[in-house]
Structure 1
Amino acid sequence: MEHPTARVREIVLETDRLLLRPWQVSEAAVQREMWTERDPRVPPHRRIDAEGHPTLEDVEDWIRSWSQSGSPRVLAAERKASGDVIGYCGLIPNTDGSDDEPELAFELLRRVWGQGYATEAARAVLGWAQASGYRRLWATVRDWNGASRGVLAKLGFVETGRVDPDEVHGDSLFLARDL
């Protein structure tokens, strides 16, 4: 069987309301907006810093580099009805750097929270992952992030018992789902 990452550049997934597809450089502002909206409990390296980094140019460069990469990655979540990008969902190498059991990652703009888009997008990614031969996926979530924990529970992820304690930003919980 061909390794799942061999076809990552071709991934386009469709749901009733969403098109999940590779990012375009012209959409860097959407991704940067998500950085500005992040909860203050999110570690500083995942938020806009005092010097304004990452800049729009930084995000554009990341998108360019992703298009060259063959590893699992996140896809832009575009609403089919309006054509606007509202966030991302996809697979990233898990915390040990392995592509064999990647991590499910998703994030949406605040204005679309609570409308079921994260669950819808993640179900499509799970279906693709299973069809591509992945046997297990991981997810990490801060203990205080009840909304994301709820999405992961709906998708069948279960806590593994592994916790990375962090008194400042909240403990990171490790969840897994067999496919």
Structure 2
Amino acid sequence: MIDDDILTDRLILRLIPYAALMATEAGDIAEAARLLHLKLPNDWIEVAPLARRRLPQLLDEPDYRPWAVRAIALRATGEAVGYINFHEAPAHHEMAGREACAEFGYTIFETYRRQGYVEEAVRALMAWAKAQGARHFIFSIAPDNAASQGLAAKLGARKIGVQIDEEDGPEDVLLLS
């Protein structure tokens, strides 16, 4: 276990150090795995674009660090099955009209989907975030992403609007308070 780890029954949510994000962005999965002390599948390369976005943010916003990208790994094997992060530290969210909103982003690699990992990770990260002062959670989900739409509904999130994401296109914006 590493100090910043969040643990669940099956998962480790490991905060990715800056150097491991740099290695990920550069496509050096072996170095990222070494720095993370995890087994990273080839799918880890999917994290590179996110790493590219988060690296400058970590330099510009020191308070963002604990809210940044975490590997989702299996406790039993140390194998990464995806990642989860908040887009920024909790802040005012214009569409929600509320303070202390934290917006999620997550991915489970295809091989590991439909096993409840993302729900387990989201619940654990929300509990951690609440302890840090977050009061509301935002999910921005493509309308055709049935799995994420279902998870948000199961957690009690409600649709508050629609936005066009520059990278992902149309998204429903859902709020969980």
TM-score range, shorter chain: 0.5 to 0.7
Q: CA deviation at 1:100?
A: 3.2
Root-mean-square deviation (Å): 3.7
Q: Does the CA-based 8 Å contact 1:23-1:63 persist in structure 2?
A: no
Question: Contact between 1:119 and 1:154, CA under 8 Å: does it hold in 2?
Answer: no
State, as a whole percentage, how many aligned pairs show the same letter: 26
Partner of 2:8: 15
Conserved 8 A contact 2:73-2:81? yes
Tell me the distance in 2 between the aligned counterparts of 1:128 and 1:63.
22
User: 1:157 corresponds to which residue?
Assistant: 157
Aligned-residue offset at 1:65: 7.1
Partners in 2 of 1:143 and 1:77 — Cα distance? 24
Q: Is 1:76 equivalent to 2:71 in the alignment? A: yes
* Offset of residue 143 of structure 1: 0.2
1:159 and 1:144 map into 2 onto residues whose CA distance is 14
CA distance in 2 between counterparts of 1:12 and 1:22 reads 6
Residue 174 of structure 1 aligns with an amino acid whose one-letter code is V
Q: Which residue of 2 aligns with 1:177?
A: 176
SS of residue paired to 1:102? strand
Question: Deviation at 1:177?
Answer: 0.8
Change (3 A) 1:100 1:157: same
SS for the counterpart of 1:101 is strand
Aligned match of 1:122: 122
- The structural deviation recorded for 1:135 is 1.2
Instruction: From the two aligned structures, give the one with the greater strand fraction.
Output: 2
Structure 1 residue corresponding to 2:43, chosen from 8, 22, 33:
33
Query: Which is bigger in relative contact order (C-alpha 8 A, separation at least 6)?
Result: 1
CA contact (8 A) 2:87 2:103 kept: yes
1:154 to 1:74, Cα distance in 2 relative to 1, 3 A: farther
- The gaps in structure 1 that reach 5 residues or longer are 1-9, 37-46, 48-52
User: Does the residue aligned with 1:83 lie in a helix, a strand or coil?
Assistant: coil
Q: What TM-score does the superposition give when structure 2 sets the normalisation length? A: 0.67
The unaligned stretches of length 5 or more in structure 2 are 30-39, 94-98
Moved over 3 A (4+): 29-32, 58-69, 96-100
Letter aligned with residue 33 of structure 1: D
Q: Secondary structure at the match of 2:9?
A: coil
Deviation at 1:11, TM superposition (A): 3.5
Helix, strand or coil at the partner of 2:147: helix
Distance 1:150 1:76 in 2: 22
How many residues are paired up? Answer: 149
Deviation at 1:133, TM superposition (A): 1.3
User: Whole-Å Cα distance in 2 between the matches of residues 62 and 16 of structure 1?
Assistant: 28
